[in-house]
Chain A
Amino acid sequence: MTDTDQPAFTDATRAGDPVIELEHVDKFFGTFQALKDINLKVGLQEVVVVIGPSGSGKSTMIRCINRLEEHDAGRIVVDGIELTADIRNIQEVRRETGMVFQQFNLFPHLSVMDNITLAPRQARRIPKKQAEQHAMELLERVQIPEQARKYPGQLSGGQQQRVAIARSLAMRPKVMLFDEPTSALDPEMIGEVLDVMKDLARGGMTMIVVTHEMGFAREVADRVVFMADAEIVEVGTPEHFFLDPQEARTKLFLSQIL
């Protein structure tokens, strides 16, 4: 990579303009290849659902997008910023990219309010009053404004995950990444988290969601990506996947989870 490399595109402003671009991305853990020649473009306001068997590289792929993992080859560009070793680029991409984890990863020593306002205040230098006001709006959006003064340990799993979503949204990200956000939840709490995510999708958020909730995929996904053995095997609309999957591995996987 040289300084003369131009980003593939400038800041996306219209629906459909590419916001995330992965080109020929490879990733190794030691000698084990976790991502093989991944190519994926995600447009503004697009919702992409990623499915695939355990260990196929779904988490690794989305973790490369905000540099929780470092890719070994290829290019990753997020909102016009190419991910290189440059720490400022990485910080910038992370601020534009929210991530929601399977285990919530809320900060247990901070109140819900502080969980949400910490990053805007520290990384974006937003004044406290303003940050708290925004946090309350977000808590209302995820339907738990009454929990602002509590600590994560005092909330149910579903509530914690909704706080985690609010925490990411507080940075006003352009893109949201979800890594199996409902897999650690009791069944009766899955719905409340999915509702928040559907609301976000309808509001025009660009999202990549790793999930096995096929109902969610059918309802809000623009595209579904099927991964297996570190590769993207098949990409298509939800209808395509439910009615007419092409690849043998896709068919096998869908027959197992549906």
Chain B
Amino acid sequence: MTTTTARPTAAPPPAVIWARRHLFRTPLDAALTVIFGALALYVAFRLARFVLVTARWDIIATNLKLLMVGNWDTVHLPRIAIALAVLTTLGGLIAGLIHARQVRRGTAVGMKLSPRRIGDLTRRFGLLVATVLLLLALTTTTGPWVMMAGVAVGGVLGRVVGGWLGRRRYRRSVAVAGVLAMALVPVALYRYLVDAVPLAEWEGFFFNITAAMAGIILCFPLGVLLALGRRSKLPLLRTMATVYIEIVRGSPLFVLLLLANVSLEFFVPPSIAPSKTVRAIVVFTIFTAAYLAEIVRGGLQSVPRGQEEAAKSLGLSPLTQMSRIVLPQALRNVIPAQIGQFISLFKDTTLAGLGLGILDMLTVSDAITQQPGFVGQRLIIETLTFTAFLFWVGSFTMSRESQRLERKLGVGTR
């Protein structure tokens, strides 16, 4: 390591002044700066050397398909590409519709590509795009390139069309039909995919992502219902919700997964017993719903009593009081905690590998180190680093989006 010392001049440059003020104010400060600075540099250096020089990334490149989608039949890979492109198109469409609606209501700025908006988009999607490019660089076939091109085109197209469609208002029946159609798209895609490869054979990172998405979508209504149940005036309902929440929160997720693996045959004849993938999703849903229920309960408590009283005094039905007044505010107030729970779920899907014997990404990344060309070379470090990196990208993006959502919904600016 080399250190540069400032030459004695009349007026030291601003950087030196800043360093003196923030890093070397007292002898203790100076000592801490040197020790932790050296440590940080050392770690950064070792990491950079590993990533750029010593690491054997060929194990990742060779097994990229296995890591991403497991043993998914290559013939059916285009189905994943099509599904992903359609899904991004749908996402873009929804984003465009929402934005257009905000513009119509005067609560959002226009859609022009200003430098500020480009900066914002880069911050939001830069990491994702960089990661995708990195993965593409590791591939040897053209398929993934075509797929990502489809995704990019679909996303932009959806966004533009959505912004255009959303400019005008629609009759209620048309709007309802539109929403229903959009809700049916993921269902149709699911049918399209399982038609080629049954759910039980979804593997690799694809399993982790789909299991997390299914868990998030399913646990949300269950968690909200449990939170409402726990606050219910009916003793039976309240007790049931409380018992559920406390039992599930008291059990380690890994134990629940193991139980789902071995104990289901006690209750269900093996012939109709659900597949391991379904079991994993059920356990994730049950588990996360219990935590979500407590988060939502906190949100419900954070809504002032006066809100419910005002809703009552207007003669709103109990259902409307809850669905239009109390719940929206409660959910908004706990967005960070909710997303945090979803991030946990995403990462915890890696437990399904060992817990249920599913070939998820973590299992693959362990298994490939035993391949003839790679065995006995301690390449597990490379594969685990790569796995951790992908999960970090996903988690970090979710956390970023949650902060953005929070800001957009104006939490704290009542």
A residues contacting B by CB (< 8 A) are 66-68, 91-92, 94-95, 97-99, 101, 103, 105-109, 111, 118-119, 122-123, 149, 151-153, 164, 167-168, 171
Contacts and interface: CB of A to CB of B under 8 A. Distances in A.
Contacts of B313: 66, 68, 94, 97-99, 168
A122 B310 contact: no
Interface of B: 105-106, 304, 306-307, 309-317, 320, 324-325, 328-329, 332, 409-410, 413-414
Nearest to A113: B105
A122 B329 contact: no
A105 B310 contact: yes
Given A68-B309, A101-B309, A123 B317 contact: yes
Contacts of A151: 410
B123 to A, nearest CB: 26
A171 B313 CA distance: 11
Contacts of B314: 94-95, 98, 118-119, 123, 167-168, 171
A101 B306 contact: yes
Nearest to B325: A107
A119 B105 contact: no
A106 B307 CA distance: 7
A94 B292 CA distance: 34
Contact of B315 (A91, A101, A106, A149): A91
A95 B317 CA distance: 11
A108 B329 contact: yes
Contact of B414 (A98, A118, A153, A171): A153
Contacts, number: 71
The 8 closest A-B pairs by CB, nearest first: A95-B315, A105-B310, A119-B314, A94-B315, A105-B306, A99-B313, A108-B414, A123-B315
A167 B320 CA distance: 16
Contacts of A92: 315
A118 B325 CA distance: 10
B321 to A, nearest CB: 10
A151 B106 CA distance: 12
Contact of A149 (B105, B312, B328): B105
A91 B328 CA distance: 22
A107 B316 contact: no
A123 B325 contact: no
A93 B413 CA distance: 34
Contact of B320 (A95, A98, A122, A152): A122
Most A C-beta atoms less than 10 A away, residue of B306, B328, B332: B306
A124 to B, nearest CB: 8
A107 B310 CA distance: 8
A105 B309 contact: yes
Contacts of B106: 149
A95 B413 CA distance: 30
A68 B312 contact: yes
Among B105, B106, B310, B414, residue most surrounded by chain A Cβ atoms (within 10 Å)? B310
Contacts of B410: 151, 153
A122 B413 CA distance: 27
B316 A119 contact: yes
A96 B311 CA distance: 14
B322 to A, nearest CB: 12
A151 B332 CA distance: 16
A106 B311 CA distance: 9
Given A123-B320, A153-B413, A153-B414, A109 B329 contact: yes
19 contacts: A68-B312, A91-B317, A94-B313, A95-B315, A97-B313, A103-B304, A105-B310, A109-B328, A111-B105, A118-B314, A118-B316, A122-B320, A123-B314, A123-B317, A149-B106, A152-B414, A153-B410, A153-B413, A168-B313
